[in-house]
Amino acid sequence: MKKKLWIIFFLIITVMAAAAASVYIQFAAVTEGEPIPEYSVNNPALLVIDIQEGLSGSSSWGFYKGYAHQSEELIASVNRTIESAVMSGMTVVYICHEDTNPLVKLVTGSHMVKGKAASAIDKRVKIVSDNIFIKHIMDGFSNEALHKFLTANKINTLYMTGLDAEYCVYRTSLAAEKRGYTVNLIEDAVISSTVENKFNMLKKYKSKGINIIKAEDFKSLSHAVINKN
C-alpha cells in the first residue's frame, strides 16, 4: 500500500512538473510576425516595459522584491529618458503584463491580473501617452496591436527600458528584431532581479546584435532632429 502511494505521488509530481514546463515554454515564447516595411528615414520609439505596481511598486512581493529594491534608481532613469523622448517628439509606448494562465495565477496568487492595483503602471512613472499595450506572456509583441501601432506610425527603431532584462525586455527585444526593427537597450534604464543577472544578460543582448547604450547617449540621440515619414 505504501509503495502504491509513493508511485501515485511520484506520478502526480511528474504530471505537475510537465505541466509547469509546458506553461513556461509558452510563457517564454518569442513570437513571429510580419516584417516591417523599409522606410527611407529613421523613426524611433521608446518602449517602457512592465514597470508596474506589483513588480517595482508598493504591492511588490516575493521574487519581485528584487525589482522594488532597485526601483528608485530605475524609475528616475526611465523618467529622464521619457522626458528626452517627449522633448524630441518621439513616440512613447508602455507595455504592461497581466496574467491569464490559470497555473501562473495559482502560483502567483493572481497577483498580476486585470483590474488589480498591482497591474497598474507604477505611479512614479511619467505617463505621457495613452499608447498602452497589455501582454499575457513575456513577449510584448504577442499583443499584435503593438506591431500594428508601430507600423501604422512608420516606426523602425526601438529603445527598450523597464524590467526584467532577463525575461520580458529580452523576449520583446528578440521579437522586435525578428520583425526587422533596429533594437537598442538603454543599459541604465533596465534592471534584472540582481545586478549580476543583468550584467550576464547584457552579453546575450550583444550576441543577438542588439545595441547597448547609456541613458546619456539616448538623451543626445533624442535631441537630434527626428525626421518623420
Domains in the chain, please, with CATH? 31-222 (3.40.50.850)
pTM recorded for the entire structure: 0.86
- With a cut of 90, say whether residue 206 has pLDDT above it: yes
Q: For 135, which DSSP code? A: E
3-state secondary structure of 191: strand
- With a cut of 50, say whether residue 115 has pLDDT above it: yes
Q: In this prediction, what percent of the chain has a pLDDT beyond 90? A: 69
| Cell digits of residue 69 | 529594491
pLDDT on residue 227: 45
Instruction: Please compute the mean of the pLDDT values over residues 192-207 and round it to a whole number.
Output: 94
Q: Show the beta-strand stretches assigned E in the chain.
A: 44-49, 91-97, 132-135, 157-163, 182-191, 211-213
pLDDT band for 199, please (50, 70, 90 cuts): very high
3-state secondary structure of 203: helix
pLDDT band for 19, please (50, 70, 90 cuts): very low
Read off the pLDDT of residues 85-113 as tens digits, 9 standing for 90 and up.
999 999 999 999 998 777 666 666 557 78
Mean pLDDT over the full length of the chain: 86
pLDDT on residue 39: 92
pLDDT band for 2, please (50, 70, 90 cuts): low
Residue 55: closest CA among 119, 134, 104, 123: 119
- For residue 50, cis peptide bond before it (omega within 30 degrees of 0): no
